[in-house]
Amino acid sequence: MSDQTLPPKSGASALDPAKDSLVTTVHLALGGNLGDRRANLSAAIDRLGALLRIDRLSAVYETAPMYVTDQPAFLNMALSGTTDLAPRELLRAVKRIEEELGRNLDGLRFGPRPIDIDILFQGALVMASPDLEIPHPRIAERAFVLCPLADIAADLRHPALGRTIAELLAGAPGRDSVVRVADALEPHPPSPSTI
């Protein structure tokens, strides 16, 4: 199996027991192409563990850049977990993690970055606003998102498109150029030299 199912954490939970009725499953995409790419992914997983209970991690894939092609190759992966954060709270927290790991949030759109974290799905929520769209609006065209997501949620049905992740992947352009390079990563903080 190419993904990793994580055991429950002992001790403190990332979830607030008082908000149990608000807990939703989230699927996130992680990627990066600057610095120590694997260490940056692991550091992001570690920090995300403070926001949500991570349930599954995909394998890691290497992909050519999309949209802005004059930059290094990316490592990409996906994870699923549960959180009691509302969508905009989760977005703010994810952006904070990106900044902590060295991402310039004012940099070139689709340009090089040490880490990028996208909210793909939050339960069956469908929302569109200027600052946040869920499901992520470009999932169907991104094999570099669909390949890792299929590792952990192939049967997940896109709430707006009505197709499963496996079905979307089968029709995605560039899926043959997404190369699996590692099993699921373990979280660990980056060394100061990699940030």
Among candidate residues 53, 113, 142, 151, the one labeled active-site is: 113
* CA atoms within 13 A of residue 161's CA, in its CB half-sphere: 19
Beta carbons of 90 and 84 less than 8 angstroms apart: no
Q: Return the closest-CA partner of residue 158 out of 174, 141, 175.
A: 141
Residue 176 annotated as catalytic: no
Residue 84 annotated as catalytic: no
Residue 113 annotated as catalytic: yes
The CA distance from 191 to 195, in Å, is 7
Among candidate residues 118, 157, 163, 183, the one labeled active-site is: 118
Structural tokens at position 132: 């946040």
Residue 20 annotated as catalytic: no
Among candidate residues 3, 116, 142, 151, the one labeled active-site is: 116
Among candidate residues 47, 103, 142, 151, the one labeled active-site is: 103
By annotation, the residues acting in catalysis are: 103, 113, 116, 118
